[in-house]
Each structure stands twice: as structure tokens, then as C-alpha cells.
Amino acid sequence: MPSSAPSNKDRVSVEERLFSLVLALLATESGLTKSEILSTVQGYRQRYDRVGANQALERQFERDKDDVRDLGIPIETLESPDRPGDNQALRYRIPKGLYDLPDDVTFTPEESALLALAATVWREGSLSGESRRALTKLRSLGVEPREPVIGYAPRLRVRDSAFEPLSQALDRRQVVRFDYLRPGGSAPRRRTVAPWAVVLHEGRWHLYAWDRELGARRTFLLSRIVGDVSVVPGSTFDAPEPGMAEQALAELDALWRDQVASVEVEPGSDAAVRLARRRGATADGTGYRLHYTDAEIVADEIAAFGPEVRVTAPDTLADGVRARLARVAAAHAEEDA
């Protein structure tokens, strides 16, 4: 008797199972019975027992039907004329004529390419539940990339452990708590926030949220969240006004434009090559003017170049770089002692 639990190699994600179900119900004219779906569709067939009970799998199918309908996909139920009232004889299908894209809705190759990139991020678990559901619906409508962008798709990986719990809390409108280490701080502080948006800026993930203790909007760098993100039991928040992600990015961009460092670099050095390629960098005599969002992060980056770079402004950034280099020198002195 086959096992009811699939092995790791046979395990199918929720999105893949829903997508396979949509494809199967779109492909049939006469409809499929529940047993036909459970025994043949990807995500069900791996757990289907042909000689045993499949109650748990049937309950999974009923939940999946609700999820598909929540996408706005109509599932039609057809009763068998020779077996009226028999639920096991019901046939399911998606009436294609009601679900085709309107004739005036098309996608350019560039738009299709963007959808392909969205799929890449989706596979990395970086999008919200709403985004995953939207992409599932688009794929079921036959929207697939037709042309490559430049021969490969960039892969965005989430490295901050806080990303997934914050994304889930955002989807469910749950208030969360976490310990946060402020720039230059010596100890983390507990924060209680309503998460409004998680955005990627300058290669780093940020949380845009309403801080309940401060009664104000705040932006948090995910890499500075210490420990686990926990949900506040029974505490939810109303949906924020539209455009929170765009507003968060606009504020981060404004901060990036306003903060400028002047640095001198060793000609022909690794620092000269790398800093010249930095976004927004402009040549300034023997060095560059560099925009930055976070003083602590840019101080780390500049200190890593060692004697190849010297900060001439602002003084606070120069002090931060010197302090880092002094700590490195002291650590080496201890090792040599």
C-alpha cells in the first residue's frame, strides 16, 4: 500500500499544486470527478491511495477549491445526469470562455520579461501571499515570457531571517515585536510595530512600519533585527493607505540623495575601481563624492579598503572609519603579543 506522506523529493509546493489544479480544470471540457483530480493532478496524486481512504486529501481539495475561487477563478460544478445527488459523481471544470483574457489585454515582451523576473523572486519566497496569488492567476491565463532579458534572470535571495515572519505578519495585518539594534547602539531595544511594507533599497531589506511606542512611522533595517520576530497575540491593525512601499522607497531615496561623503582614493587601486562604479558616484579631484543611506554601513564599506581611501567629509563618517581601523589594528596587536 502506498504511503500517504510524500517523500521530500515528491513534495509539491502549495503554489504548484494550485497551478496544476487550475491547468487541469481549464483543460477539460466535460469536467473531472474528484477521484480523477486526486489521482492524476500534481500535488494530489503523490498522496492518493487507490485502495484506501483519502478523506484528508479530499479535505485538502475542498480548501484548494476555495483558494482558487478567491483568486477570482470560477470553478463550475456539474451533476451527473445518471447519478443525481451523488457528490462522488460531481464533475469540476473552469469554463474557459469565462476566464480567457479580454481581447484588448496583451503583454509586450518587456512586460512578459518582468513577469518572469517576478516568478524568480516568487520562487525565492520573497513576495507576499497576495503577489504569489496574482502570479498564479497570470500563469493560469497563459502569460509566460517569450524573450529573455539578457540571457539570464537575476536571482534575489532573502538572507535576513526576519524577512519571512514580517512578510507573513504584513499579509495578515498582525502587530509584531522584535529587538532592534540602532546604529551605534550598544544594546538592542524592544520595538512593537504594525508592519506596512518590506522593501529592497540599495541591496538591503527595510521594514516600513508604525512604531506603537513612539506613535510615528519608522524604517528598520532588517539586518539590525536581533533574534526572532514574534506576533503580538490578538493584536491586529487596519490596512494602511495605498502606496506604503512607494513612500518608503521615496523616503530612503531622499535620505540617500541628502547624505554625501567626500573621499580621496589611491589612483589605480581596487577602491578607485569599485567606488567609481557605485551608484551616483561623481569624480571630485583625486576622489569621489558618494551618496549613502546608512552611515554605519558605508563606514564599514570604506574601512574595508584600508589605506586606499581617506574620508574628507563629513567628519562624523571620517571618525567612524578611523574607529573601525583602530579596532582592527588593536586586534592584530593582541594577536602578535
Range of the domain at 274: 259-336
Q: Is the pLDDT of residue 278 over 70?
A: yes
Which tens digit of pLDDT belongs to each residue from 57-70? Answer: 999 999 999 888 88
More reliable by pLDDT, 137 or 250: 250
Domain boundary residue, one of 65, 99, 133: 99
According to DSSP, the residues that pair with 206 across neighbouring strands are 199, 221
Are 289 and 250 members of one domain?
no
Q: How many CA atoms lie within 13 A of 235 on its CB side?
A: 12
Structural domain includes residue 143 = no
Contacts of 38 (CB under 8 A, 6+ apart): 44, 45, 48, 54, 57, 58, 61
Most confident of 16-25, 132-141, 234-243: 234-243
Q: Give the CATH number, domain containing residue 87.
A: 1.10.10
Structural domain includes residue 77 = yes
pLDDT of 332: 83
pLDDT of 159: 58
Runs of H (alpha helix) within 143-294: 163-172, 244-258, 270-276
Most confident of 62-66, 108-112, 314-318: 314-318
Q: Is the pLDDT of residue 119 over 70?
A: no
Structural domain includes residue 108 = no
Domain boundary residue, one of 256, 272, 301: 256
Are 245 and 288 members of one domain?
no
pLDDT of 10: 54
More reliable by pLDDT, 329 or 142: 329
Structural domain includes residue 183 = yes
Cis omega (within 30 of 0) on the bond before 183? no
pLDDT of 142: 56
236 touches 176 (CB < 8 A)? no
Structural domain includes residue 215 = yes
Are 310 and 248 members of one domain?
no
pLDDT of 326: 94
Per the structure, the count of domains in the chain is 3
Are 250 and 314 members of one domain?
no
pLDDT of 60: 92
Are 221 and 291 members of one domain?
no
Domain boundary residue, one of 229, 256, 283: 256
**pLDDT tier, 155 (very low <50, low <70, confident <90, very high otherwise):** very low
Return mean pLDDT, the chain: 82
Structural domain includes residue 5 = no
Q: Give the CATH number, domain containing residue 237.
A: 2.30.30
Structural domain includes residue 240 = yes
Are 187 and 241 members of one domain?
yes
Structural domain includes residue 137 = no
Are 201 and 265 members of one domain?
no
More reliable by pLDDT, 94 or 84: 94
**pLDDT tier, 200 (very low <50, low <70, confident <90, very high otherwise):** confident
